[in-house]
Amino acid sequence: MKRIITFGEIMMRLSPPTNERFGQARHLEVVYGGSEANVSLALAQWGWPCAHVSALPDHAFGQAVGQYLRQHGVDTQYLCYTNGRLGLYFLEKGAALRGSQVIYDRYHSALAQIEKYSFDWENILHQAQWFHWTGITPALSENCAYELRRAMAIAQKLGVPVSGDVYFRSGLWQYGASPQEVLPELIALSQVVVCDEKAMQAYFGLAPEVCRASFAEAAQNLMAQFPSLQKVLDTQRVSLSATCNRISARMWNGNTYLETLPLEINPIIDRVGAGDAFMAGFLHATLSGQSDAEALHFGICASAWKHTIPGDMLLASVEEIKSLQAGDTSGTLKR
């Protein structure tokens, strides 16, 4: 079976236990994760062959990341062990009216310092059935943006479908290029994107009145600007508190506007990686031949389930997600 390929940075997450504040912590819990890798990790547990492409420092922590991916069934043959450091982020989990806080320490990471032509994309993608990226990777460095663009051009040449999650994180772009310069040519090589109206306006120049009109109209304008696009997705979140949110998903596929009913999660255990779980769920259902409506619903249910799992990675069987799809939100004991 052909593989799903993801490309992006993996970081070490350090968190105070339970809901302690940074200033209270006497030790920190370690978790590995990265947006694109989280997609591969979820899909691999559902039986899809997945490989992740990245660069890691050639030391014990870098090796631990590779071991973590392999432990969960992700092919690591395209990991490059090199100089540099492992990116870090520190997460203080919120509760009730106190929101979570994140501090990033990722500059000069191994992936950010890669050279051009670090990866043999022809070889990596020749047996691929899908390629997934996010807007985090091209924000890390000029060479990361170059390698991602090169991978996507080769995917297009080989007929490999491409999905991307744009990620509105303007603070990441520190090397001289702007997202407005880089992201349009990546969207132009994608078939499926996760992108909200804020990003459409900020990154792709859509007029404010178009973005205010409706998601469908904004997405249709984005498709007109980038004819390769077939589906524009978005997730919505209503935060009632740090530990109680309602989430839903919507899509414009060029003909039909689709939207899921909201799901309320209370209490939230860990929301990090919920967007990646949505993307993994959507891809699983799409590649399984389900309709757009079914794929959107499976995706948002996978995202909701992730909120109940500590760490970056979604841990759930297809049957568990389907049970949630069928309306089982009781959380009753299973024997």
Task: Note whether 96 and 244 are within 8 A (CB).
Answer: no
- Give a yes or no: residue 257 inside a domain: yes
In a domain, 313, yes or no: yes
Residues 205-220 have a mean pLDDT of 90
pLDDT at 333: 55
Q: Helix or strand or coil: residue 316? A: coil
Alpha carbon separation from 156 to 123, 159, 212, 236 (Å, rounded): 14, 5, 32, 30
Question: Does 282 reside within a domain?
Answer: yes
Query: For residue 9, what pLDDT is reported?
Result: 98
Spatial CB neighbours of 60, under 8 Å, sequence gap ≥ 6: none
Give the residue-averaged pLDDT of 289-301: 99
pLDDT tens-digit map of 32-81 = 999 999 999 999 999 999 999 999 999 999 999 999 999 999 999 999 99
> What are 105-131's pLDDT values in tens digits?
999 999 999 999 999 999 999 999 999
Residue 190: φ, ψ to 5°: -115, 150
pLDDT at 190 over 60: yes
Q: What is the pLDDT of residue 315?
A: 98
Q: What is the mean pLDDT of residues 11-31?
A: 95
Alpha helix positions (H), the chain = 35-45, 60-71, 121-125, 137-140, 142-158, 179-187, 197-204, 208-213, 215-225, 274-287, 292-306, 318-325
Q: Which residues contact 217 (CB under 8 A, 6 or more apart)?
A: 210
Q: Provide the token pair at 109.
A: 């990471």
pLDDT at 311 exceeding the cut of 70: yes
Question: In this structure, is residue 237 part of a structural domain?
Answer: yes
Mean pLDDT of the chain: 96
**What is the rounded average pLDDT of the residues 95-110?**
93
Burial of 51 (0-12, 13-18, 19+ CB in 10 A): buried
Bond into 267 cis (ω within 30): yes
Residue 238 lies inside a defined structural domain of this protein: yes
Q: Nearest Cα to 295, choosing from 253, 330, 334?
A: 253
pLDDT tops 90 at residue 330: no
pLDDT for 331:
79
Strands 50-57 and 3-7: parallel
- Whether residue 261 lies inside any domain: the answer is yes
Instruction: Retrieve residue 204's tokens.
Output: 């792709």
pTM, full prediction = 0.96
Q: Which domain holds residue 252?
A: 230-327
Please check whether residue 37 lies inside any domain of the structure.
no
* Sign of the CA dihedral running 223, 229, 233, 234: negative
Helix (H, G, I), strand (E, B) or coil at 62: helix
pLDDT tens per residue, range 125-182: 999 999 999 999 999 999 999 999 999 999 999 999 999 999 877 778 989 999 999 9
Contact call for residues 287 and 130 (beta carbons, < 8 A): yes
What value does the mean pLDDT take over residues 253-268? 97
Q: How many domains does the chain have?
A: 1
Q: Judge whether 304 and 332 are in contact, CB under 8 Å.
A: no
The share of the chain scoring above pLDDT 70, in percent, equals: 99
Query: How confident is the model over 299-308, as a mean pLDDT?
Result: 98
According to the model, what pLDDT value does residue 167 have? 86
- Tell me the CA end-to-end span of the chain in Å, nearest whole number: 35
Residue 259 within any structural domain of the chain:
yes
**Residue 123 CB neighbours (<10 A):** 10
What value, to the nearest 5°, has the Cα angle with vertex 329 and ends 237 and 290? 75
If you ran DSSP here, which 8-state letter would residue 75 be given?
A: B
